[in-house]
Amino acid sequence: MVKVTSIEFQRLIKKGRQVLKVEQLSDKELDAIGKAEVPKKYKYLDAELD
């Protein structure tokens, strides 16, 4: 168990969530997203899409 203050907890929650419009992403970021691949160790999850 880890104890944190409520203020720290709220900060951690906000830090993990960020909403961006596609227009806010740079060409470099969009290119990286387009080239991203799922690691082979997660290949078994493909069955969830069938």
Question: According to the 3-state scheme, what is the secondary structure of 1-50?
Answer: CCCCCHHHHHHHHHHHCCCCCHHHCCHHHHHHHHHCCCCHHHHHHHHHHC
| CB contact at 8 A, 4 and 12 | yes
Please report the pLDDT score of residue 43 as a whole number: 92
Model pLDDT for residues 24-44, shown as the tens digit of each residue: 999 999 999 999 998 999 999
Residue 4 or 35, more confident: 35
Rounded to 10 degrees, the C-alpha dihedral 8/10/13/17 comes to -120
Q: Give the side-chain half-sphere CA count within 13 A for 40.
A: 0
The answer to pTM > 0.75 is no
